[in-house]
């Protein structure tokens, strides 16, 4: 499965995308936190309503419940976005 990172997540990871084997979104988030550290973890688990993580699977935005339940497969593209929260 391909994970595409945007904005601050991309800056922290130092790359645009990467391949992961994680079968679920929470597991993919855990793997990203493990690889890229506490800064990545803070953004992935952000609780603020305006700035919380947006999860897109194969072009469709997932709600938090859907993101928790989704099963990921080899050809899937998981996009993770962290809003800036202001303009």
Partner 1 sequence: MTISGEVLKYDLRKESYEFINWMEEDRQRHGAVSLRRTIGGIGFAFDEFLSEKPCRDPSTKFVINTGFLTGLPRHGVPSGCTRTYVSFHSPAKEKQASYGIGYAAAGGLCGPHIKACGVDGVILAGKASRPVGVMLDASSDQREACLIDMDPWATTRETVDLCFKLGYRGSVAVGPAGFRGVRFASVHVSYMPHDHVRAAARGGPGLALGGMNVKAVGFNDGKDRTPSPKVSGPEVEQWMKGINRELASGSGTEKYKQHGTWGGNWSYLLPLKALPAENFGNLDPKDAYKLDPEYLKSQGWSISQKGCACPIMCWKIPKDPSGQTLWKIDYENIDLLGPNCGVYDIYTLSQAIEMCDMQGIDAMSTGGVIGWFFEHNKRAGKGPTFGDGEALLDLIEKIAEKRDEGELLAEGVKKASEKLGDADIAMQVKGLEGAAYPFWSNLGYAFALRGACHTSLGTYTIGLANPNGVSSVEWWADEIVKAIPSSMICQMNGACYFTRKVIVPELPKLVRNLLGLEASKEEIDRSALQTYVIARMIDCKNGFSSDDDSLPQRAFRNTTTKELLSKTKALFYEKMGFNGDGKVTQETLGKYGLEHLSQYL
- Comparison of 31 and 46: residue with beta carbon closer to partner 1: 46
Residues that bind partner 1 (CB under 8 A): 4, 6-8, 10-11, 39, 42-43, 48-54, 56, 60-66, 79, 81-87
* Rounded least distance, CB 62 to partner 1, Å: 7
Q: DSSP character for 18? A: E
- Give me the sign of the Cα torsion angle 2, 49, 51, 32: negative
Q: Helix, strand or coil for residue 17?
A: strand
Nearer to partner 1, 19 or 48 (CB): 48
Closer residue to partner 1 (CB): 21 or 81: 81
User: 70, 57 in Cβ contact below 8 A?
Assistant: yes
């Amino acid at each position: 499965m391909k994970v595409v990172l945007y904005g601050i997540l991309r800056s922290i990871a130092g790359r645009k995308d990467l391949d992961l084997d994680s079968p679920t979104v929470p597991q993919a988030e855990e793997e990203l936190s493990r690889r890229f550290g506490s800064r990545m973890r803070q953004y992935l688990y952000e609780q603020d309503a305006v700035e919380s993580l947006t999860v897109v699977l194969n072009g469709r935005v997932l709600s938090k419940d859907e993101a928790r339940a989704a099963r990921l497969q080899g050809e899937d593209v998981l996009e993770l976005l962290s809003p800036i929260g202001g303009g």
